[in-house]
Amino acid sequence: MVIILYSILGLIGALITFMVIRTVLTKPIPVPKSEFVPNGVDKDLVAQHLSGAVQFETVTLTNPLSETDVFFKLQEYIEKCYPCIFERAKKTLINRYSVIYVVEGTDKDLLPIAMLAHQDVVPAPIEGWIVPPFSGEIKDGYVYGRGSQDMKSQMIASLEGLEILLKDGFIPKRTIYFCFGHDEELRGTEGAKQISKYLQDKGIRFEYVLDEGGTILDGKMLGIDNKIALIGICEKGYADFILEVEKPGGHASSPTRRTAVGLLAEAVYFTELSQRPTFFAKPTKDMFKALAPYMKPIFKFLFVNRDILSPLLRLVLSKAHPMTNSLVRTTITPTMAKGADAPNVLPPRASANINCRINTGETIELIHKHIKKVVGKNVKVRIDDGSVNPSEVSDITSPGYNILKKTIAEVYNGYITAPFLFIAATDSKHYYPLSKNVYRFTPFEKTEDDASRIHGINERQDINALAVGVEFYIRLYQNSCN
């Protein structure tokens, strides 16, 4: 018995020694000295351009057949703002309101790159705003208004960067596509998906595609004395599951023993309680692998040995913060419910929506089976037509990814880059037939307060951060198209 005990202790000691040595040997990669010299972007001018773009009320069309000229007016506006681009760009309208602009490069042997943005914005009820939501007012160092962050700022910055270079005589070797959809907030099926189909039919392939997504974070939350720039290399799947219960209706004064709403409420309760197990998808493993060398000793020990300590780390991450919880599991979230239209009526039918963001490695079909098992036979579960599985995972060894890393390190003074599983949905998921190198990065530093304003009241874009975002695009074009 003593021999067995000593053997166990010896194995534990050997394992700990191995983990410590592994941690010590994990070293950060030195950041090369930057040769980038900022161009001195006119931040007042770019703020005015964004302000003007915000003033167009390009709210997503809920009916694809709706007629409007507001998207055309926005396009006319940006074409006037950037004469050097649009004296040479070829324009193609897709499905009426989405648009492709192509600036031809001199070397036809180089695959082009694609800069994505969406023209549409979510609605903005005026209540609670300190300025009208579509005023584009410039106030206290910010551009206010719906779409100022999501995502007209990125559209403007991507154009502004190329305009500045062209004015200075820059001639791109590589062709640049600007692809601006019009219904990203409704999953991009009428906009980005149709753009992608059009480009597929023409046989176009891209070196890489860049869309909104990964953000810049303070590394202190992971024990890193630096900022972290996360590049989204994939995105979670999106699925809405509709729970439906049918029972005889009637008057609420004489209810049946189990009502449709009662059964539905029980199903919603147990569905929310029955979350999927946590696991590290490959993109999340790659993120921790990239960040671990820069962490302080305790954090570094934990994340270098993430394979051994996985159960503990997953438990901590699932409890620490809603965002970290989203990184390690499929989330299952009730969002809407409907019963009777009057308070004294028993509805013959009650329904609820369960919104799921599906982790890489799981599928719509798997989550469908999971929810059906949880709610039982008395509740129907159907999948909304707009649901999509997790995207493919982009290559983190490609030239495009390395160009993004290099550009971020240069423009943002050595910020650490890491791949990232983007937990929301973007237009970029539709572009995988055109490139295996689809990335998501939003080049604006923002406070937690400003990030929380996206889709909320008083959305605003910091003007200084906007100017740095323009510098990012300038350097990205130089690194990609010289």
In sequence order, which residues have a C-beta less than 8 Å from that of residue 356 and are 6 or more positions away? 237, 238, 239, 240, 241, 330, 331, 332, 333, 367
- At 398 the three-state DSSP class reads coil
Residue 220: what residue type? K
Has 120 been annotated as catalytic? yes
| Burial letters 333-370, b for 16+ CB under 10 A, else e | ebeeeebbeeeeebbebbbbbbbbbbbbebebeebbeb
Q: Are 251 and 345 in contact (CB under 8 A)?
A: yes
Q: Are 361 and 389 in contact (CB under 8 A)?
A: no
Q: What is the DSSP code (8-state) at residue 184?
A: G
> What would the two tokens of residue 65 be?
């057949």
The catalytically annotated residue of 137, 160, 184, 427 is 184
Examine residue 19 and say whether the peptide bond preceding it is cis (omega within 30 degrees of 0): no
By residue count, the chain amounts to 482
Locate tokens 């040595």: which residue? 21
In sequence order, which residues have a C-beta less than 8 Å from that of residue 150 and are 6 or more positions away? 121, 122, 212, 454, 455, 459
Q: Are 7 and 14 in contact (CB under 8 A)?
A: no
- How large is the angle between the packed helices 43-54 and 152-167, nearest 10 degrees? 140
Q: Are 216 and 404 in contact (CB under 8 A)?
A: no
Q: Are 147 and 84 in contact (CB under 8 A)?
A: no
Q: Which helix or strand (DSSP H or E) is residue 208 part of?
A: strand 208-214
Q: How far apart are the first and last CA of the chain?
A: 71
Q: Are 55 and 134 in contact (CB under 8 A)?
A: yes
Active site residues: 120, 184
